[in-house]
Amino acid sequence: MHRWLRRAAGLGLSGCALAAVLIPGPAASGLARRVASGGEIVVGAEQEPDCADWIASCAGSSWGVFTMQEQTMPRVFDVVARGRQWVYTPSLLMAGPPVLSTDGGTQVVRYPLNPRAVWSDGAPITSTDFRYTWDQIAHGTDIFDRTGYDRIASVDDSDPHTAVVTFRTSFAGWRQLFGGVYGIYPSHLLQGRDRDNAMKDGYSWSGGPFKVQAWDKGVDVVLVPNPAYWGPRPKASKITFKFLTDTAAEFQAFQGGEINAAYPAPEPDAVRSIKAGLTDASSLVNADTGNIEGLWMNNAVFPLDSVAVRQAIAYSIDRNAIVRLLFGPLGVSGPSNSLNPPILAPYSDQHAFAGYHLDLAKVRQLMTGDGWQRVGGLWQKNGRTAQLTIVSTAADKRRELTEQVLQAQLRRAGFALTVQNRDANTLFGQILPAGSYQLGLYAGVATDLDPGLCTVFCSSNIPTAANGHSGSNYTRTSIPALDPLLQQVDTDNNDATRVQASKAADRILAAQQVALPIDPLPNIAIWSKRVSGVRGDNPVYGMFWNLSQWQLQ
């Protein structure tokens, strides 16, 4: 036989053998091994949490909540839908609803604990865990957010089944405490130890339906059922969150069956992929979220220190067009008209900013009334041109697209806009606190059902050199009539008057145009038809709020 024929035959045989080994048949057990029918579900996670110490400054990551926190940390309240509204409801940790008392002007909350509630090692969840959690957040170092916990005077744990929390000053948002994106910590395991060191790389204990079996950094997090959980047992035998940071690759992984579900951020790539169609999959889009993307204005720098200029900028922007461009294919078309996100609708005037729409005649009227003249296409006043810079997070395609649209719209109205995006750490840790910006494009995110705009708009929270630039009022809003209203929202336990104050504050914010809400950031969920149990989206806990009920058909 000719040598080349022998070689070709040899190569051909080798190729067939390789193909037989590599290519699985329809009944092959590959997927069964990787995502076993009846129990093992793989979910794509777009971001890996930086750490697993949920109260530290390295936390604050939504995917940290989705992958580990909400499945393992016990909490006082769940967030559930009642009709069209989201409400707090006592979780399985509670024997009954917490009782609020304001007798004698002191706010006290009593938490009756479920005697069946235990940690994964069998130790009961007690009031001492409440005390430990409060102590860590209120008095620890490098804590992400102490809001509310710093108003607690004491936690009485003399009765292990009842935690009695006494507040130093009134705090209306008490329902978000000992829950939310923090949870309650096991004092018997962490007392006397370095909590951050013990938790940041993952932890094996749990007070929820799942526990963390493994966190392979950069690869995945694996959850397995917590055998000691006193509530409904999870149906899946294993949940794996695989970290897939590239949206296009994530959708390919979904189409290829490498993952069974995904919760992609509403980026242009994701919108395009959904519009193109998904096979054998279900999807949902939820615009009723805790997120709101806005154009935040530094009220203390020229030319934004003028209300007229801020209003003129608002009238220069066609927010409907931006929302249609970004989320039109998902069926989201209307802009946000309140600086409170959609889940806080009961507390907000949902039409506060509705009057701001594209109106170039109004822009002219406002600017000329403020002493500006249009020269060479741009507004000028006292030799200074209306040149603006905008900052946002780098490498975010949705925001870059929004900035491009804003540049065009503002240019038409007579404003020049330059983009200067930076990394998130520098943006939120340096530029915004230092006030070295004019316009900022970023999202406000509510992680609970309590309004808290005082943090970002009360004048006492303006970051200054005196407070080490540690306040969060980055817009430098200082409106005398606004402060008492927002402070009342934070402290008034009468919901009716609280709502009135919040709506009044909304109207002042709109009238003074301190910032401009642009779009609600919708949540997108996709899952294979083989996965049952997915029941909608939750504004705090995402599509994973009932992960324990998911199973593979």
Q: Which of residues 24-43 bind other proteins (CB under 8 A)?
A: 24-34
Q: Which stretch binds other proteins (CB under 8 A): 155-163, 173-181, 211-219, 355-363?
A: 211-219
Residue of 1, 22, 276, 361 that binds other proteins (CB under 8 A):
22
Q: Which stretch binds other proteins (CB under 8 A): 105-113, 173-181, 465-473, 520-528?
A: 465-473
Q: Which of residues 477-516 bind other proteins (CB under 8 A)?
A: none
Cβ of residue 32: shortest distance to other proteins, in angstroms?
A: 7
**Which residues have CB under 8 Å from 446's CB, separation 6+?**
290, 291, 340, 341, 343, 344, 452, 539
Q: Which of residues 44-63 bind other proteins (CB under 8 A)?
A: 50-51, 53, 56-58, 60
The number of angstroms, rounded, from the C-alpha of 393 to the middle of its chain's C-alpha atoms is 15
Peptide bond into 24 cis (omega under 30): no
The number of angstroms, rounded, from the C-alpha of 241 to the middle of its chain's C-alpha atoms is 18
Residue of 14, 467, 497, 553 that binds other proteins (CB under 8 A):
467
Cβ of residue 196: shortest distance to other proteins, in angstroms?
A: 6
- Measured from the CB atom, is 32 or 300 closer to other proteins? 32
Cβ of residue 366: shortest distance to other proteins, in angstroms?
A: 35
Cβ of residue 279: shortest distance to other proteins, in angstroms?
A: 7
Bridge partners of residue 416, in order along the sequence = 387
Cβ of residue 60: shortest distance to other proteins, in angstroms?
A: 8
Residue of 104, 331, 468, 480 that binds other proteins (CB under 8 A):
468
Q: Which of residues 183-202 bind other proteins (CB under 8 A)?
A: 196, 200-201
Helix, strand or coil for residue 292? Answer: strand
- Measured from the CB atom, is 30 or 115 closer to other proteins? 30
- The first and second tokens of residue 169, run together, are 């000053």
Under the binding rule (CB under 8 A), the answer on residue 144 touching other proteins is yes
Q: Spell out the SS3 assignment of 4-69.
A: HHHHHHHHHHHHHHHHHHHCCCCCCCHHHHHCCCCCEEEEEECCCCCCCCCCECCCCCHHHHHHHH
Q: Which of residues 426-445 bind other proteins (CB under 8 A)?
A: 426, 428-430, 433
Beta strands in 324-475 (DSSP E): 373-375, 378-381, 384-385, 387-392, 416-419, 439-445
Residue of 469, 499, 511, 530 that binds other proteins (CB under 8 A):
469
Q: Which of residues 70-99 bind other proteins (CB under 8 A)?
A: none
Under the binding rule (CB under 8 A), the answer on residue 457 touching other proteins is no
Bridge partners of residue 152, in order along the sequence = 167
- Measured from the CB atom, is 12 or 24 closer to other proteins? 24
Q: Which stretch binds other proteins (CB under 8 A): 126-134, 322-330, 463-471, 536-544?
A: 463-471
Q: Confirm if 373 and 379 have CB atoms less than 8 A apart.
A: yes
Helix, strand or coil for residue 323? Answer: helix
Q: Which of residues 386-415 bind other proteins (CB under 8 A)?
A: 393-395
Q: Which stretch binds other proteins (CB under 8 A): 5-13, 21-29, 77-85, 336-344?
A: 21-29
Cβ of residue 176: shortest distance to other proteins, in angstroms?
A: 16
- Residue listed under structure tokens 């909608």: 536
- Measured from the CB atom, is 60 or 160 closer to other proteins? 60
Cβ of residue 27: shortest distance to other proteins, in angstroms?
A: 7
Cβ of residue 54: shortest distance to other proteins, in angstroms?
A: 12
Q: Which of residues 285-304 bind other proteins (CB under 8 A)?
A: none
DSSP state of 542: B
Cβ of residue 79: shortest distance to other proteins, in angstroms?
A: 23
Q: How far apart are CA 100 and CA 102, in angstroms?
A: 7
CA nearest 240: which of 530, 40, 30, 29? 40
- The first and second tokens of residue 338, run together, are 């309140």
Cβ of residue 220: shortest distance to other proteins, in angstroms?
A: 7
Q: Which of residues 223-282 bind other proteins (CB under 8 A)?
A: 240, 242-246, 248-249, 252-253, 255-259, 279
Site map 349..388 versus other proteins, x via CB under 8 A: ----------------------------------------
- The first and second tokens of residue 19, run together, are 């193909």
Q: How many helices (H) and strands (E) does the chain have?
A: 18, 23
Under the binding rule (CB under 8 A), the answer on residue 219 touching other proteins is yes
| DSSP state letters, 428-470 | IIIIHHHT--SEEEEEEE--SSS--THHHH-GGG---TTTTT-
Q: Confirm if 159 and 126 have CB atoms less than 8 A apart.
A: no
Under the binding rule (CB under 8 A), the answer on residue 20 touching other proteins is no
- Burial code (b: 16+ CB inside 10 Å, e: under 16) for 287-306 equals bbbbbbbbbbbbbeeebbeb
CA 325 vs CA 314, 334, 337, 385: distances in Å: 18, 11, 18, 30
Residue of 110, 146, 324, 364 that binds other proteins (CB under 8 A):
146
Q: Which of residues 99-128 bind other proteins (CB under 8 A)?
A: none
Q: Which stretch binds other proteins (CB under 8 A): 83-91, 137-145, 290-298, 491-499?
A: 137-145
Q: Confirm if 69 and 547 have CB atoms less than 8 A apart.
A: no
Amino acid at 263: Y
- Measured from the CB atom, is 202 or 329 closer to other proteins? 202
Q: Confirm if 115 and 221 have CB atoms less than 8 A apart.
A: no
Q: What is the C-alpha end-to-end distance of the chain, expressed in Å?
A: 54
Cβ of residue 219: shortest distance to other proteins, in angstroms?
A: 5
Q: Which stretch binds other proteins (CB under 8 A): 64-72, 87-95, 141-149, 304-312?
A: 141-149
Bridge partners of residue 418, in order along the sequence = 389
